[in-house]
Chain A
Amino acid sequence: MLDNIKLGQYLHGDSWYYRLDPRGKLVMSTFFIVIIFMANNWITYLAATLFTLLIVLTSGVPLKYFYRSIKPIVVLIFFTFFLNLFFYRTGTPLPPLNIIINKIIVIIYGVFVALLITFRFTKVIDRYIIPKIFKITTLVFILINILLSYGLNYTEFSWSFHWIIYKNALINGGYIILRLILIISMSSLLTFTTKPTDLTLAIEHVLSPLKIFKFPVSELALMISISLRFIPTLLEETQKVLKAQTSRGADFTEGNIKDKVIQIISLLVPMFIISFKRAEELANAMEARGYIPGRKRTSLRELRWRFTDNIYVLSFILLTAFFIYFRS
């Protein structure tokens, strides 16, 4: 079970994007989320798409990984798209949807019947099934057409839902999908090419102005690093506890709310005890090695800002300028 859990998304590789300073990558990925909302017509969206494509294609990360990170939200994307289609009502309306569907279905039906007739004279499928298929498809065809004409009549009653789609709804829905894909590609690129430890270091640097307000930035970064280190250990321990409780007859998949509370407690008690024990040991070990919270610490890895980082930042500024100039 533990083998197929992949924490973090870092992929080993080497390209100009991997070698960029994580601070620049982090800040620019966030900046990209903000500026993409300035795009509001086809030319700005085209520029944003080309810009993202250029970075993604030269980053050396195989495209299938981007597909994988977009895949979980495909359902969400289509859901929003259709929701948008019916609730967004400005601009010129397209012909009623049922007429469009009707035309498509008539064409599909025609092609289907033609295929059946050709099958009748060849020996691709058993000719005795053909009349059966013909009957079923004709029935389905008639049913869909009745439903569609029924949908058309709804507009005459005081039915709030109607089949008319507006042109702007289509365009707007398309823009939302495109924007989401671009943003997710850019941020996935950051996590694909930056190790969590480097990302933590970058977060520490980016948040360091908060030190003025006595916000414990370096402690927070250290906490993230320790957490990252202990996630695999705790995963292993959790699995042990799960197996131990299952072997004693615990069933975590069933039961009402009261059972669930008891099941969860039977897992959490040992987990918390293990965690606090680990924390205590770690605290002692750190103290023994002279760690003092709040003191200035040096880092094993020093981040270096190179010339390419300047170019990277500059390209985003140019994109912003383009957006400001060409947006409508």
Chain B
Amino acid sequence: MKIKNLTVNSIIAALYIAITVLIQPIAFTNIQFRIPEIFNHLIVYNKKYFFGIIVGVFLANLFFSPLLPYDLIFGVLHTIVSLCLTMVISRLTKNIWARMLINTIIFSFMMFIIAIELNIALELPLLESYLYCALGELAVMLFGMPVMYLLNKQLPFSELID
């Protein structure tokens, strides 16, 4: 791991927190709509953003989660598993839109990890909570697709790191 990778990933994680704290409450009142989740699309542009995203999720859960221990374990697990799956599956195509769509679907599908968490912690019905979580995630990630695409045009993510 190069030094620049390390610092870029750390600062991406810090940016994740900054956006959670400042932009989230101003632009979106709904808690289910976690705006920093759009950062998950960074993995599509370059695999080296892996750790930045994970550290961001970890710190966000550590600072802001009401269900602290559960979110810390299951939330981070969900991100790691989904990112790994995306990295494997997105080898199939080079098209950025297709890759982002794959990423979106994987993240939403993997929300069953969070549903299991809610089932263990609060004994909420598994299927209903899965549906809610997956729909919320799907909405954010779909919203993130054009955002990340347009951002990438201004600052090419794949070249900024390596």
Contacts and interface: CB of A to CB of B under 8 A. Distances in A.
B155 A265 contact: no
A8 B63 contact: yes
Chain A, interface size: which category? 35 or more
A231 B18 contact: yes
B126 interface: no
Interface in B9-65: 9-15, 17-19, 21-23, 26-27, 35, 51-52, 55-56, 58-59, 62-63
Nearest to A267: B23
A29 B15 contact: no
A275 interface: yes
Interface in A269-304: 269, 271-273, 275-276, 278-280, 282-283, 286-287, 291, 293-294
B68 A286 contact: no
Identify which of B10, B63, B124 gathers the most chain A CB atoms within 10 Å of its CB. Answer: B10
Given A273-B155, A279-B11, A80 B122 contact: yes
A59 B122 CA distance: 27
A223 B154 CA distance: 26
B6 A222 contact: yes
Interface string B80-106: 000000000000000000000000000
- Which of A72, A87, A227 has most chain B Cβ within 10 Å? A227
B44 to A, nearest CB: 16
A260 interface: yes
A272 B10 contact: no
Interface in A180-207: 180, 183-184, 187-188, 191, 196, 199
Contacts of B51: 216, 219-220, 223
B68 A191 contact: yes
13 contacts: A83-B124, A227-B11, A230-B10, A253-B27, A261-B143, A268-B147, A269-B154, A273-B155, A275-B11, A276-B160, A279-B4, A280-B4, A283-B7
- 10 A-B pairs closest in CB distance: A226-B10, A230-B14, A72-B66, A234-B18, A227-B13, A279-B7, A283-B4, A279-B8, A282-B7, A187-B69
Interface of A: 1, 5, 7-9, 29-30, 33, 37, 69, 72-73, 76-77, 80, 83-84, 87, 172, 176, 180, 183-184, 187-188, 191, 196, 199, 216, 219-220, 222-224, 226-228, 230-231, 233-235, 237-239, 242, 252-253, 257, 260-261, 263-265, 267-269, 271-273, 275-276, 278-280, 282-283, 286-287, 291, 293-294
Given A69-B68, A271-B18, A276-B11, 17 more contacts: A7-B21, A7-B63, A80-B122, A187-B69, A224-B13, A227-B10, A233-B14, A234-B17, A235-B17, A242-B22, A253-B26, A261-B147, A264-B23, A272-B15, A283-B4, A283-B6, A293-B2
Interface of B: 1-4, 6-15, 17-19, 21-23, 26-27, 35, 51-52, 55-56, 58-59, 62-63, 66-70, 73, 120-125, 143, 146-147, 150-151, 154-155, 160
